Amino acid sequence: MFTPKIPPPDTAPTPGTSLVPPLTGLVHPPACTCHHTPTAPAPVPPPARPAVQLTPGSLLVAAAGGTAMVLIIGTVLVSMLLATAITAASVAICAVVLRSLLNNQKGN
């Protein structure tokens, strides 16, 4: 039931041949009974890209958006730097307190 169905060797296609004939690029098949000559299809031109037009209003919106992004990113970076500085200062204070406590124990 789950074994693959392999065709007999005499009907199997050879590795270099294809079952589908290659396309010739003609619109009509070779056995066309029309009275005109078959022609190749016309090439499709690439779609035209619309030009970007900046109006004074859109330029103002873009400038305001850029300014807002700079302020937001700057605020985040400054707050991260401030958090690092506060953490470093608190670790330094803890180290000084621990050192003074250990020195007082050795003196007694």
Say how many Å lie between the first and final Cα of the chain, rounded: 90
CA angle 61, 65, 67 (to 5 degrees): 120
What is the value of pTM for the model shown? 0.43
- Cα 5 to chain centroid distance, Å, stands at 43
pLDDT (tens digit per residue) in 3-51: 777 766 666 566 666 566 666 655 555 666 666 665 677 777 777 777 7
pLDDT at residue 1 tops 70: no
CA angle 58, 65, 80 (to 5 degrees): 170
The residue ranges of every structural domain in the chain are 79-108
Structure tokens, 107 = 């003196």
Q: What percent of the chain has pLDDT over 70?
A: 66
pLDDT tens-digit series, residues 62-71: 999 999 999 9
Distance (Å, whole) CA 88 – CA 94 = 10
